[in-house]
Structure 1
Amino acid sequence: MTIDVIVPEAMRKAYDAFHYAPAVREAGLIFCSGVIGQGDSAEDEFRDAWRKIGLILAEAGADYADIVDTTICMVDLASNAAVMAKVKDTFVQAPYPASTWIGVSGFVRPGARAEIKVIARVTP
């Protein structure tokens, strides 16, 4: 079986260094790996993560409107949830996808506040 790997050029170095795909396409769906943004504030970090998701989706021929499911993991969920909701709503519009939010103790990148994983459909 051949996996249809989605790797935007801006993410090629990470793909080669860490051996994981930003996304794979299978059976009409795009499965994105978790994405961590960068920024001085929670808002900047979350906005960067959603921007990166947009790059991945575009490489696969999709966009934010094609997202059918989101999983958002955050440290300090009580403090960060409102900021994430505000930022998410600038990228993801109605009809909204299924969504799961999870509070966690940390991420592989120290200091990261959130990791976002999405599944999107490929529209014919």
Structure 2
Amino acid sequence: MTPRQVVVPAGQEQTYAAWHLAPAVRVGDLVWCSGVLGTRADGSVPDDLAEEVDLALRNLAHVLAAAGGGLEHVVELVTFHLDLAGQVPTFARVRDRRLAEPWPAWTAVGAAQLGGGLHGVRLEVKATAHL
């Protein structure tokens, strides 16, 4: 049996300890990432949606790097949006700057609340990667 490896990037140890969730779990060459937010290092959320999307993808890249990969390894994205129709075009535009072909599978879901209730969060991104 392939062992399961919990992935906790530097700086996220407190989240792992307090919330009892792994930012990612690696089993062999597959990595499942928990939902990431488009927050700054201080936990604030930008007013600009494109900046929030970019931060979410950068934060995802940080988690993937701790697992030994990068955004180029993403095979599936699941995104959650407070305003699905209003946010998907911006998300897609920013995603296309951060990711490249071959494009991952993508499911976008409308949601009522995100980010554990953190004020101002409009989207959350989770991913599966193949390293």
Same-fold call, TM > 0.5? yes
Counterpart for residue 31 of structure 1: 32
* Alpha-carbon distance, 1:68 to partner: 0.5
- With 35-44 and 71-80 compared, the bigger mean Cα shift is at 35-44
Q: How many residues align?
A: 122
- 3-state DSSP of counterpart to 2:124: strand
2:69 is matched by which residue type in structure 1?
A: A
Counterpart for residue 61 of structure 2: 54
Following TM superposition, the consecutive aligned residue runs of length 4 or more in structure 1 with deviations greater than 4 angstroms are none
Q: Which deviations, in whole Å up to 9, do the C-alpha atoms of 1:40-72 show, x marking residues without a partner?
A: 211111111111110111111111111011101
Counterpart for residue 42 of structure 2: none
- TM-score (normalizing by structure 1): 0.91
Q: Which deviations, in whole Å up to 9, do the C-alpha atoms of 1:67-106 show, x marking residues without a partner?
A: 0111011011111111111111111111101110111111
Gaps in structure 1 of 5+ consecutive residues? none
Q: Which deviations, in whole Å up to 9, do the C-alpha atoms of 1:15-46 show, x marking residues without a partner?
A: 12211100000132000001111222111111
CA RMSD of aligned residues (A): 1.4
* Identity of matched residues, %: 35
- 3-state DSSP of counterpart to 1:115: strand
2:69 is equivalent to residue 68 of structure 1: no
1:27 is matched by which residue type in structure 2?
A: G
